[in-house]
Chain A
Amino acid sequence: MRTRPAQNTAATPHWRRARAVQRVAFVALGLSTGLVAVTSLVVVGIILARGAGGLSWEFLTAMPAKGMRAGGIFPAIVGTLELVGLTIAFALPMGVASAIYLTEYAADTWVTRLVRLAIVNLSGVPSVVYGLFGLGLFVIFCRFGTSLLAGALTLAIMTLPVIITASEEALRSVPMSFREVSHSLGASRWQTVRHTVLPLAVPGIMTGTILGISRAAGETAPILFTVAAFYLPRLPQSVFDQAMVLPYHLYVISTQIPNIPQTQRYGTALVLVLLVLALNLSAVVLRARFRRRRQW
């Protein structure tokens, strides 16, 4: 957009200064971006380099052996998947329901503002506090004991703010005109939400949910007191059983047990990273496909 006025001012010191500042800003921004990329590549690279050797079919499907110094991490993988599945089962309906209520039903009063404030606060609570909260409420008070159930509920509460925020955003991005038409055709508020708004918001909701869950899947603190078992000789039989989970297993074999082969540790880390990466990737793919399909 170099039009005449710009050329006229090209020679002034003010303009030269502005250009210099812009150069510096570009370099700074570029460096920061580069640093982010490099850091994540280095982290993944190191884990890949040291863990790939340990990765084998047996490592993925066998029970741990020799005090977890050998064998596989099968129970930790299963435990993580079960925990994540259960977390979604609790968090998704509750999060979506809250988002629907907040965007489609609730008037803008001080009560709803308070609820929103609470949600924002909830997302700022450190994960170890969730762990203690889960211990107090689910493990002890509700008498679920250290169990998949208690852990999933704790993780669900931790992911709720993410799911609610993402769902609210997805619901709000559905144009008002669709709601109007739906109402004008005699649809009730619920029918409008159920048949018009929600279907259009599903991709956004799923993306947000997956990102929230993938974050939770890698957390150690909230599961430390609520589900995680040091070592279990068998897989959990019900939601009231303890389970081995990847992040905690990694913590245990990295800090609590001496003389563990490096491949064992980095192999576990690699599996955990791949799991989270796969979740994030599916969210990205989902979002991209949704963008392409959206036409209003």
Chain B
Amino acid sequence: MSAVSDAGTPPVLEVHDLNLWYGDFHALKQIHMVIQACQVTALIGPSGCGKSTLLRCFNRMNDLIESARVSGRILLDGRDIRDPLVPLVTLRKRVGMVFQRPNPFPLSVFENVAFGARVHALAARTGMAEIVERSLHAVGLWDTLKDRLRHSALGLSLEQQQRLCIARLVAVQPDVLLMDEPCSALDPIATGKVEELIRALKARYTIVVVTHNMQQAARISDYTGFLFLGEMVEFGPTGALFTNPRDPRTEAYITGRFG
């Protein structure tokens, strides 16, 4: 697999020989993949195959799990994310995460969006309003919420909450957005809207999205990786993977024979 994309631009993320164990359990096995800038990469596979685990490797969220042990390399713009010279905080500022369940803080809409920006001291107090406005614009919430900035975020609909969580992330000006089944708590209409948002965000962000839903992967992604029992069985352009899978296991999965 070439480390350079067709367009000749270097990939944002490269994964080499990645292995992860939870205690004795070998959860990720020899993962290789590259993630291109401003593209949507989908990770699919049956439940428990390691999609979330892989995603959490990209911003080192697995560091929070005591039993997890990692080997191999993940390069962000060519630099190992575990390089002691790159502080974890810097990595997480560049590579942020949206979770499965919308999880806004029990604070106002404004404070939610401002949270990360405050943590990274991205604005003097005067600039914060602007950051919040820009971030809410980016996720299509500004017009609905501009008069409700002081209201609690917990009063929003689930779709709005998930958008707000994306806005909260966008506010810290990351490069890579990791999304772990961002639509699985949403109804079909809300799902469609969030998918639309993901496609729109692609213009500016590199997106890696985990999904259970193959149609969703086909709709929104440019590249797809199929994980099975901790192995990256197949990785390639979404169209090719779905129409012409090379591995029999991939074919079995996408034709619905298991999972």
B-contacting residues of A (Cβ < 8 Å)? 107, 177-178, 180-188, 191, 195-196, 200, 294-296
Contact = CB atoms under 8 A, between A and B. Distances in A.
A183 B118 CA distance: 13
Nearest to B168: A185
Contact of B154 (A180, A185, A188, A295): A295
A188 B120 CA distance: 10
Contact of A296 (B91, B154, B168): B154
Interface stretch (B33-41, B96-104, B129-137, B186-194): B96-104
B97 A184 contact: yes
A204 to B, nearest CB: 14
A183 B61 contact: yes
27 contacts: A107-B66, A180-B99, A180-B103, A181-B103, A182-B115, A183-B64, A183-B92, A184-B59, A184-B96, A184-B97, A184-B99, A185-B92, A185-B93, A185-B115, A185-B119, A185-B169, A186-B90, A186-B91, A186-B92, A186-B96, A186-B119, A186-B172, A187-B89, A294-B106, A295-B106, A295-B152, A296-B106
B116 interface: yes
Interface string B172-186: 100000000000000
A186 B91 CA distance: 8
Given A200-B106, A295-B154, A296-B154, A185 B96 contact: yes
A195 B89 CA distance: 16
B106 A184 contact: no
A196 B168 CA distance: 14
B21 interface: no
Given A177-B101, A180-B99, A296-B154, A187 B59 contact: no
A187 B118 CA distance: 9
A185 B97 CA distance: 7
Nearest to A187: B119
B105 interface: yes
Contacts of A196: 105
A184 B118 contact: no
B166 to A, nearest CB: 12
Contacts of A107: 66
- Chain B contact residues (Cβ within 8 angstroms of A): what range? 20 to 34
Nearest to A196: B105
A191 B103 CA distance: 18
B119 A191 contact: yes
B89 A186 contact: yes
A195 B91 CA distance: 20
Contacts of A184: 59, 61, 92, 96-97, 99
Contacts of A200: 106
Contacts of B64: 180, 183
Nearest to A178: B105
Contacts of A177: 99, 101, 103
A186 B93 contact: yes
Interface of B: 59, 61, 64, 66, 89-93, 96-97, 99, 101, 103, 105-106, 115-116, 118-120, 152, 154, 165, 168-169, 172
Contacts of A182: 115, 119
A2 to B, nearest CB: 38
Contacts of B59: 184
A137 B99 CA distance: 52
A188 B89 contact: yes
Contacts of A294: 106
A263 B168 CA distance: 63
Contacts of B89: 186-188
Given A180-B61, A184-B97, A186-B172, A195 B154 contact: no
B165 to A, nearest CB: 8
Contacts of A191: 119
A196 B165 CA distance: 15
A180 B92 CA distance: 12
Contacts of A186: 89-93, 96, 116, 119-120, 172
Most B CB atoms within 10 A — which of A178, A184, A191, A195?
A184
Of A185, A195, A200, the most chain B CB neighbours within 10 A belong to A185
Nearest to B94: A186
A51 B219 CA distance: 79
Of all A-B residue pairs in the complex, the 5 with the closest CB atoms, nearest first, are: A186-B92, A185-B116, A184-B97, A186-B93, A187-B119
A170 to B, nearest CB: 14
B173 to A, nearest CB: 11
Given A107-B66, A195-B119, A196-B105, 12 more contacts: A177-B101, A180-B103, A183-B64, A184-B92, A184-B97, A185-B169, A186-B116, A186-B172, A188-B89, A195-B115, A195-B118, A296-B106
